Amino acid sequence: MTRRSEARCSPALLRGSLLVFLAVACGSTVDTVGYNASEVAGGAGGASVEAGASGDSAGAGDAGAGTVTPEGGVGGLATGGAAGSGGLGGTGGLKPLTGPDTYPNVFKDVLGKTDREISTKISKTFDQLFHGDPASEAVYYELDDDTAYIRDTLHDDVRTEGIGHGMIITVELDKREEFDKLWRYARGTLKVTTGPNAGYYRSRCQTLTEAEDCYDPYGLQQMLMALIFAHGRWGSDTGSVNYELEALELLDLIRNKELMNGGIVDGVTDTFDAETKLVFDFPNTSTASYTRPSVEMPAFYELWAQATGDAFYAEAAAAARSYWKRAEHPETGLLPWRAYFDGKPVEDWETFEPEGYRASYNIALDRIWFGSDAWHVEHSDRMIAFFDAIGINNYGRVYTLDGTLVQSDREPSLVAANGPVAMLSTLPASAAFIEAVWNLPIPTYDPRYYNGTLQLLALIVMAGQYRVY
């Protein structure tokens, strides 16, 4: 198995007619690594593609690719299905969501920071990452067609991961203008409109030697959750985006893609495995036996069950929690990059690396929003104990699951990701990990994309501002 440095696809995904389709759809030859994000202008002709590493030297997430015509509406909604059997339960809209009564604010409760200090910290980080110097500070870039994208400034590409994180950040911070521009970009530039993958969002996945086209579920799920929150927070009756209809379209897509295609065509599957209720690594038969801890998002699924009345999502939430338990190392708490449905790490992916850091946010949200079981706390205690034993200022970037150091470079995105872990931990050492997030400088220059977005997400989670709407 070829080792890749990012969100990736199996080479099987690129064989045959699909390879030709993707090459044409992306407006490039197959071996083209990608396009410069500054060339993206929406509409026909430009595309922003390519994924690579994240953080300081290697990576997390996926990259968007391809150019399509901006569109609206709900496409082929299967509105006649019964809830719990793959449909959306009729033509009704999204049901209201219920979150927790309170949200913990560890900056205030543990560090003693004031509301003003916390608000200033988050605002300054947002302002710099979204509206700072384009050459050295910002990761958010607006285009003349009233769209905007989040750019991986280290690799000069655009990823659906970044769009998804950006949409979550902007809805949680009540930044509707920026939210709408990001979604219009995703819908108009990254969405596939023809062929068996129609409805999915085109991405690029970087191997050590080449880039590959792929359809990564991580950013797709982030965008879907953000749209549901936008509907709950701002409503869908005003403005240029009908968040409710857009969310319903994605909900239908991830559950009913095979139904839409009349079966599995060119290997394209639903986003979820119907038997295990787990999200596929990619929605394709080439990855039909494994997934990633970081793409399992049970807190989201519980809310999707509320929004749709589809019991499948509650089952998916339970399946994701069980999967995490099977996949984590019993002593260190570290989770692999990829693992089979039974929790066994996939060969060449059995390390704890930057892309895997994202799972910590999913675990923290699941605990904060739904309480779940005691495992979340036990898992966090294992991780904090592991990193505390190394030294909070000394731990590296990549580890084997049993704790052997693979790459010693200091990774700011891991410092950020360990903050939500520390929120759940009962160990006294957790306070130092919370303080480490507070003390992180806002990243600048090339590595600022992954480090910055995970840092801002950590601030929002830890300040009790990642809320259900």
Look at residue 3 and tell me if it is in a domain.
Answer: no
Q: What is the CATH number of the domain that holds 273?
A: 1.50.10.10
Task: Identify the weakest region by mean pLDDT among 85-89, 131-135, 380-384.
Answer: 85-89
Number of domains in the chain: 1
Q: What is the mean pLDDT of residues 364-382?
A: 96
Q: What is the mean pLDDT of residues 9-29?
A: 32
pLDDT tens track for 219-256: 999 999 999 999 999 999 999 999 999 999 999 999 99
pLDDT(13) > 80 = no
pLDDT(189) > 90 = yes
Look at residue 6 and tell me if it is in a domain.
Answer: no
d(CA 274, CA 288): 11
pLDDT band at 306 (very low <50, low <70, confident <90, very high): very high
| Residue 26: per-residue pLDDT | 35
| Residue 157: per-residue pLDDT | 86
d(CA 447, CA 19): 31
Look at residue 194 and tell me if it is in a domain.
Answer: yes
pLDDT band at 178 (very low <50, low <70, confident <90, very high): very high
pLDDT tens track for 99-117: 999 999 999 999 999 999 9
pLDDT tens track for 21-59: 333 333 332 222 222 333 333 333 333 333 333 333 333
Q: Is the pTM of this model over 0.75?
A: yes
pLDDT band at 380 (very low <50, low <70, confident <90, very high): very high
* Host domain of residue 432: 11-462
| Residue 211: per-residue pLDDT | 56
pLDDT(66) > 90 = no
pLDDT tens track for 385-397: 999 999 999 999 9
Q: What is the mean pLDDT of residues 137-147?
A: 98
pLDDT(6) > 60 = no
Averaged confidence pLDDT in the chain = 84
pLDDT tens track for 406-443: 999 999 999 999 999 999 999 999 999 999 999 999 99
d(CA 126, CA 455): 10
| Residue 57: per-residue pLDDT | 34
Task: Identify the weakest region by mean pLDDT among 36-45, 329-338, 442-451.
Answer: 36-45
**Total residues belonging to the chain:** 469
